[in-house]
Every structure is written in C-alpha cells, then in structure tokens.
Amino acid sequence: MRCRRHWVVNSPTTAVLVEDLSVDLGTGPILDGIDLQVPDGRALALLGANGSGKTTLVKALIGLVPPASGRVSLYGTEVSARRAVPWSRIGYVPQRVNTSPPMAATAEEVVLSGLLTGRRLRPGPGSRGRVRDALAEVGLADRAGESVHLFSGGQQQRVLIARALIRKPDLLIIDEPLSGIDRASKLALAASLQRLRSAGTTIIVVLHELAELGPLIDRAVTLDQGRVIQDGAPPSAPSDDPGHHHPDTLQGAFIHRHPVPDLRARWRL
Ligand SMILES: Nc1ncnc2c1ncn2[C@@H]1O[C@H](COP(=O)(O)OP(=O)(O)OP(=O)(O)O)[C@@H](O)[C@H]1O
C-alpha cells in the first residue's frame, strides 16, 4: 500500500516514515518505491527471501545507505539531516558479524560501549547499573565479566541487543536476530523483545520467518526484489492493540556504529 502525501503523517511523534524510497548502490535498483509507516509502540517484521532488500532497507532507515530518491524520516526529522536526528532514541543491532581476531572484550565492556557518543564515552555515575540492567534484560546478568568470544552465537547476539538497549531506545531495529541460534536462545530473545514491546518500545525486526517472534509481531511487511509485496497483520498478531489500525501514530530510538574499544583499563572494570 502506497503512502499518499495528503495523508502521510510526519511529526515528532512519528517513529519511522519512509516515502517512495529507492536505493541503487551502483549495481541496479535494490529498493524500488518503498512506502512505510510504523506506529508508535508497534512491532514490525520485515520478511523476504535472501537478497530481497531487507538489510538495505534497515540501513537506509538509519542513514547507512543513501536514497537514490524518496526520503526517510525518524521522529519527524529527515535522516539526511544527520545531526538533527534524535539518534539517542534509536537502537540498532546489525546482522551478526564474526570478528577476526575474536573480540576479547567482556560482555560488560561491549554493552558499556553502547554509551559511546561520537568518540567520547559518557558513562556517568549510574553506568554500571545500566549495564547490569541491559544484560539482565537479555538474561545474561551473570555473564557480565566473561569474554564474549567464548559466548555462543545466540549469546553474542543477546549481548549486542543489550548494547543497543543501554540507552533505553524508543525504537529498536534488529537485523536477523534468529539466524544460526538454537531454539532455547530464540525463545529467550523472543521473551526479551516481548518485554520491550510491552513497555512501549517500537520494534523493527528483519526475519526470514516469524517463527518464535510471531506472537509479538503485529505487522509483517514482505519484500521481493526491493518492493513491498505484502503488508498486513500476521495471523498471530496481538489482538490487544488499540492503535493497530491507525498507522498514523508513531515513535522512535538510538544508534551506535562504533567499534568496541578496550574499556577495561579506562573504567577499571
Ligand atoms: N553495498 C552493496 N553494493 C551493491 N549491491 C549490494 C550492496 N549491499 C547489498 N547489495 C545487493 O542488494 C540486494 C539486497 O541485499 P540485502 O542484503 O538488502 O538483502 P536481504 O534481503 O537482507 O538478504 P539476506 O536475507 O540474504 O540477508 C542483493 O542483491 C545484494 O547483492
């Protein structure tokens, strides 16, 4: 369904607004005329086959890839305005990447690095408590002092989510959190995301199938060759959702694209 300009809502209470977005990274169109609104507090799944454009779309949402045409706004501010965007309200968890050599940082250090602003770290007095809270949110409070390279893939994914959560984002964007992890980890992740959704966090999650996250998703958008081919409530959509049919109210979240520094000496962790 196309957003028509005469009814599109773009205000500070709108988390995500995508208008006629096309992306071309030099190899031909990757996204073609995408329109999307994400209501405040809702959980949206982006589905589609390999190469359909899901990751490119979430990267475009946070300005990591430029639009060829169209625009993306977060909280009523165009992403192209960079500094004016309230990045502190947006949490982004990229697709899992293997670090080489393996990252020796502890879970606590990785999560703490989520407080980086530019090149500066502003931990503040309550930072260690926030690290603990974020790790507790993903069920890893008791692993804070362990090196993440000893963690399983699913546990590493949860640490990265905790890293995104430390600033208490209003909008959390997660790219394929379920890939390559066992069912117990998937269920643990689903429970964390359900708690966040219940607390009002807006969630955009890239998935190959709804699977364990089905119960918390109230809208699923399917991409095919860079276009939206399906957009609606999945069969398992939560029914206690008064705003579900009103996609003109939104809200949003924080971003960090910084390497994890060695924080041990710096913060005597
Ligand atoms: N930096 C880039 N330069 C050129 N083409 C790219 C670039 N990044 C992605 N693509 C192409 O864009 C298309 C969509 O890729 P994207 O990663 O967005 O798909 P996806 O739906 O997330 O796939 P997957 O499910 O495999 O992660 C693919 O054909 C890919 O080769």
Residue closest by Cα to atom 28 of ligand 1 = 51
Q: Which of 89-93, 260-264, 265-269 has the highest mean pLDDT?
A: 89-93
Residue 207 lies in a domain: yes
Residues 6+ apart with CB under 8 A from 192: 137, 138, 139, 158, 161
The separation between the first and the last C-alpha atoms of the chain, rounded to the nearest angstrom, is: 50
Residues 6+ apart with CB under 8 A from 199: none
Structure tokens at 111: 């999560």
Give the CATH number of the domain where residue 33 resides.
Answer: 3.40.50.300
Residue 262 lies in a domain: no
Helices 153-165 and 183-198 pack at an angle, to 10 degrees, of: 10
Residue 54 lies in a domain: yes
- The stretch 80-102 carries a mean pLDDT of 79
Cα(226) to ligand 1 centroid in Å equals 9
Q: Is 31 in the pocket of ligand 1 (CB under 6 A)?
A: no
Cα(174) to ligand 1 centroid in Å equals 16
Check residue 244 and give its pLDDT: 41
Cα(153) to ligand 1 centroid in Å equals 22
Domain assignment of residue 82, given as a range: 16-96+169-254
35 close to 19: Cβ distance less than 8 angstroms: yes
Residue 114 lies in a domain: no
Q: Is the pLDDT of residue 122 over 70?
A: no
Residue 187 lies in a domain: yes
Residue 138 lies in a domain: no
Domain count, the chain: 1
Residue 265 lies in a domain: no
Range in 11-25, 214-228, 245-259 the model is least confident about: 245-259
ipTM for the complex shown: 0.98
Residue 268 lies in a domain: no
Q: Is 175 in the pocket of ligand 1 (CB under 6 A)?
A: no
203 close to 43: Cβ distance less than 8 angstroms: yes
